[in-house]
Amino acid sequence: MSFQIKEQPTVYDVCIVGSGAGGGMAAKVLAESGAKVALLEAGPWYDPADPKYITQLKNPWESPRRGASTHRPFGDFDAAWGGWELEGEPYTRKSGTQFDWFRSRMLGGRTNHWGRISLRFGPLDFKRKDVDGLGDNWPIGYEDVKPYYDKVDRLVGIFGSVENIPNEPDGIFLPPPKPRLHELFLKKAGKKINIPVIPSRLSILTKPINNERGQCFYCSQCSRGCQAYADFSSSSVLVKPAVKTGNVTVFTNAMAREVITNQDGIATGVSYVDKQNLQEYTVRAKIVVLAASACESARLLMNSKSSRHTKGLGNSSGVLGKYLHDSTGAGRSAFLPHLVDRKRYNEDGVGGMHVYTPWWLNDKKLDFPRGYHIEYGGGMGMPGYGFGFGMENMNGKYPGKDGNKKPAGGYGLSLKEDYRHFYGANFGMAGRGEAIAREDNYCEIDPNMVDKYGIPVLRFNYKWSEHEIKQAKHMQDTFEEIITAMGGIPTGPKPGPESNYGLAAPGRIIHEVGTTRMGDDPSKSVTNRYSQLHDARNVFVVDAGTFVSQADKNPTWTILALSMRASEYIIDQRKKANL
């Protein structure tokens, strides 16, 4: 076997690395403008409507492990081909710190299984430093992004309700689904204790928006990928129409190795290893758009060293990889005694909650900066692996069907009845909050390790600060307040300082951002306000790496808006012959 790098003769207008939210959007916008696009994806092809991939509507017994998460991190039926650990693709951690890095290797990336929670950043979210003096402001504001949020709403589809809450901008909404039973109790409880509970904002089609995509049929399984294309995933909503233009060539199983630059420091293409045959290839392109995820794009840039870019491409500032931050997360569950022996009906609903709590204390002085929103779960969901576990902690505490208490645990018909009695009476909630972006939370290249393709891997250094821990404490207090107002009983002991109040490890919420942050000052940022590298004008980053701060909002809607904005900028600059 001869070892050589195979260079394709075609010079594409654009080479996009990654087919998730950012890459899919760039592919669609650029291809529709007539650009010839090469789209590199490190995983295989995926189409949620192709029967060979479908797990939606499967019953638990169609998995021998009943959908348990032994292998796929969110279970056998989940549409994420990836996880926190990938065979042959390691990463490391520095000085006893922790960061868990979730990667999906498939067309559409992590958009195939995400929660579809599609929140706009508000005016405050772009300028938080003005409020608390921490971190940095974005170089752009809500007014710059709003037109793109509007376009994304129309293009992708989102349900929600107009609420006129200052930092929770309303969008162009489809009608939200009615709350489930426990969600009605939540709304009532919220009123009692002055915590807003409003319809959630999810990119799920409660009404059809075009002829290519269907309408939600309420199976609650968006995380399995939707065969009707009734929710947002980049594979079905962006890549599919992009490919339809005839201007996109998709390279699957293409693991990007380096961005290639010339003597002038300008990118000329991307080299990749084909995971199937382990051969090296180069795709030549006039413009390179990185959308491999915040950390993967940063890694690619760091690995793209040349005489002009000695610290890696786009790293003359030394900021590349720094300011990495993930959302904070903590949760609690509860039992709602008034819901035992509920009448049965199909309560699946959409994939995820029908109501949520946006951050409500912007005007209040607290002992931590920023805020969090609350997501809710509960109802008569489909049993899977784990269903029925821990009955011995329930059936001795609360009366059974006959109204009498009995000894915990047990066996036989009486135990069997208990599972039916308590079914659908549990409820859980999770806070998702904003962490402060810090220079000393970062990823860098590990000098001693490569992955199985020989590509140097990332090493993480990440620690939560007092800010995030205090925020988690506040979450736990709020959770108990809500549970009590609902007439519920919290499950297990309240998480305390020993566990940082249940604060999830960094990376676990899978909202990592900030590694290629944007800014007007090239000495303090990697890209400019149009997501364009300060150091190489024909290289763009359209994943969440450019986020200066994360807000308490899930990042996808902002990735989509900023990728569309950057793509339109590319088209404009091409017209003006600046690119």
Q: Which of residues 513-532 bind other proteins (CB under 8 A)?
A: none
Q: Which of 11, 172, 184, 579 binds other proteins (CB under 8 A)?
A: 184
Give Cα separations from 296 to 222, 378, 540 (angstroms).
25, 34, 14
- Kindly state the tokens that stand for 113: 């299984």
Q: Using CB under 8 A, which of 386, 399, 454, 492 touches other proteins?
A: 386
Of the candidates 113, 213, 325, 474, which one interacts with other proteins according to CB under 8 A? 213
Q: What are phi and psi of 38, to 5 degrees?
A: -105, 125
In degrees, rounded to 5, the angle at the alpha carbon of residue 568 between the alpha carbons of residues 249 and 534 is 95
State phi, psi for 238 to the nearest 5 degrees.
-115, -50
Q: Under the criterion CB under 8 A, does residue 248 sit at the interface with other proteins?
A: yes
Within 281-310, the residues that bind other proteins by CB under 8 A are none
Q: Which is nearer to other proteins, 144 or 347 (CB)?
A: 347
Contact status, residue 267 vs residue 288, Cβ threshold 8 Å: yes
Interface with other proteins: number of residues (CB under 8 A): 104
Residue closer to other proteins by CB (options 64, 133) is 64
Residue 500, SS3 per DSSP? helix
The 3 state secondary structure assigned to 340-404 is: CCCCCCCCCCCCCCCEEECCCCCCCCCCCCCCEEEEEEECCCCCCCCCCCCHHHCCCCCCCCCCC
Amino acid at position 87, single letter: E
Q: Which of residues 84-113 bind other proteins (CB under 8 A)?
A: 87
Query: Which residues on adjacent β-strands are paired with residue 444?
Result: 459
* Residue number with CB closer to other proteins (106 or 301): 106
Query: Which is it for strands 248-251 and 37-40: parallel, antiparallel or unpaired?
Result: parallel
Beta carbon of residue 203, minimum distance to other proteins (angstroms, whole number): 16
Count CA within 13 A, CB hemisphere, residue 41: 29
Query: Could you say whether residue 5 binds other proteins (CB under 8 A)?
Result: no
- 492 binds other proteins per the rule CB under 8 A: no
| Shortest CB 363 distance to other proteins, Å | 26
Closest approach of Cβ 236 to other proteins, in Å? 7
SS3 for 81-99 is: CEECCECCECCEECCCCCC
CB-CB contact of 459 with 92 (8 Å): yes
Least distance from C-beta 299 to other proteins, angstroms? 21
Q: Is 81 in the site for other proteins (CB under 8 A)?
A: yes
Instruction: State the nearest-atom distance from the C-beta of 229 to other proteins, in Å.
Output: 9
Site pattern 267..286 for other proteins (x: CB under 8 A) = -------xxxxxx-------
- What's the closest the beta carbon of residue 286 comes to other proteins, in angstroms? 19
- Kindly tell me which of 46 and 323 has the beta carbon lying closer to other proteins: 46
* 234 contributes a contact to other proteins by CB under 8 A: no
Residue 360 Cβ, how far from other proteins at the closest point, in Å? 20
65 belongs to the binding site for other proteins (CB under 8 A): yes
Q: Which of 16, 536, 38, 12 is nearest to 306 (CA)?
A: 536
The one-letter code for the residue type at 154 is R
389-448: which residues touch other proteins (CB under 8 A)?
Answer: 389-392, 396, 407-413, 415-416, 419-420, 423
Q: Does residue 350 belong to the site contacting other proteins (CB under 8 A)?
A: yes
Is residue 163 within the footprint of other proteins (CB under 8 A)?
no
By CB under 8 A, residue 66 contacts other proteins: yes
How many angstroms separate the CA atoms of 18 and 203, rounded?
21
CA–CA dist 569, 564 (Å, integer)? 9
Q: Restricting to residues 31-60, name those near other proteins by CB under 8 A.
A: 43-45, 47, 49-55, 57-60
